[in-house]
Amino acid sequence: MPVKNTVKMDAANKYIYFMKLDDEPKANKAIMIGLQGQTSGTNTRALQTIQTKTVDVKMAGAVNQQRTVLVYFQSGDGIWDKLYHAWKDQIVVHLFRVDMNEVTGAAPNRQAPYEYAQCIIATLPQTETLNSVFQSSVQFEVQGVAQNGVITEDQLEEDAFDLGKSLYDALKPTEVGDGTATTTAPGSLDDKGTAHQEG
């Protein structure tokens, strides 16, 4: 009996990119830099054509891969500085494309499939601001061929798997807000049900 094709929807925003520069200490974990870009990547080969008297014979040549990442960052988080350093000084970027749609296991030992590539940044566009968050569509040129594997959450910055999961999760009232807040907004109720007036 033939297997029926089924369509499985993956959330595009759960393909999250992490990076680590080649001149960082080995103990450093990969940091989250952004989401899959609109043009997520290319996998091409150079095409060679040999002409004969009757036909053209075509052969696939060298591999060329490129990954486009919508990098987002805020002032002071250091991500732009790392990208600029990698571009200016030609530092290899270790790029990890983690599929948060396929997380398995239980914390703190969860794992997910990922694609790994050693890259260089040839073009670093000027940043654009979306409200208070800066974003830049960065093209990473892959050296060699990207490889697939499985990565564990201890290799990535803290709470990376939870952040990927929470992109589509509903939060409870007690999970939001400022944990250090001591003031109460005018018109709101405190934990005893008392209304607070302005002033």
Place of tokens 């940043």: 127
Considering the chain, what percentage of its residues have pLDDT values greater than 90?
36
User: What does the buried/exposed string (b/e) look like for 7-26 if buried means 16 or more CB atoms within 10 Å of the residue's CB?
Assistant: eeeeeeebbbbbbbbeeeee
Q: What is the largest CA-CA distance in the chain?
A: 93
Q: Does the pLDDT at position 197 exceed 60?
A: no
- Residue 21's pLDDT band, with cuts at 50, 70 and 90, is very high
Q: Establish how many alpha carbons lie within 13 A of residue 12's alpha carbon, considering only the half-sphere containing its beta carbon.
A: 7
CB 19 within 8 A of CB 31: yes
DSSP, res 146 = E
pLDDT in tens, 86-106: 999 999 999 999 998 888 998
Long-range contacts of 76-84 (CB under 8 A, 24+ apart): 79/31, 79/33, 80/127, 80/134, 80/136, 82/19, 82/21, 83/33, 83/121, 83/124, 83/136, 83/138, 84/124
Helix (H) or strand (E) holding 4: none
Place of tokens 């807040």: 181
Helix ranges restricted to H, 39-196: 79-88, 160-166
What number is the average pLDDT over the span 4-11? 65
Measure the CA–CA gap between 4 and 14, rounded to whole angstroms.
26
Tell me what the pLDDT averaged over the chain comes to. 81
Q: Does the pLDDT at position 198 exceed 70?
A: no
Q: Does the pLDDT at position 125 exceed 90?
A: no
Helix ranges restricted to H, 43-176: 79-88, 160-166
What number is the average pLDDT over the span 22-31? 93
Measure the CA–CA gap between 31 and 96, rounded to whole angstroms.
9
DSSP, res 110 = -
Higher pLDDT, 12 or 90: 90
- Residue 143's pLDDT band, with cuts at 50, 70 and 90, is very high
pLDDT in tens, 39-79: 667 888 888 888 898 999 998 888 889 999 988 887 788 89
- Encoding tokens for residue 65? 């891969």
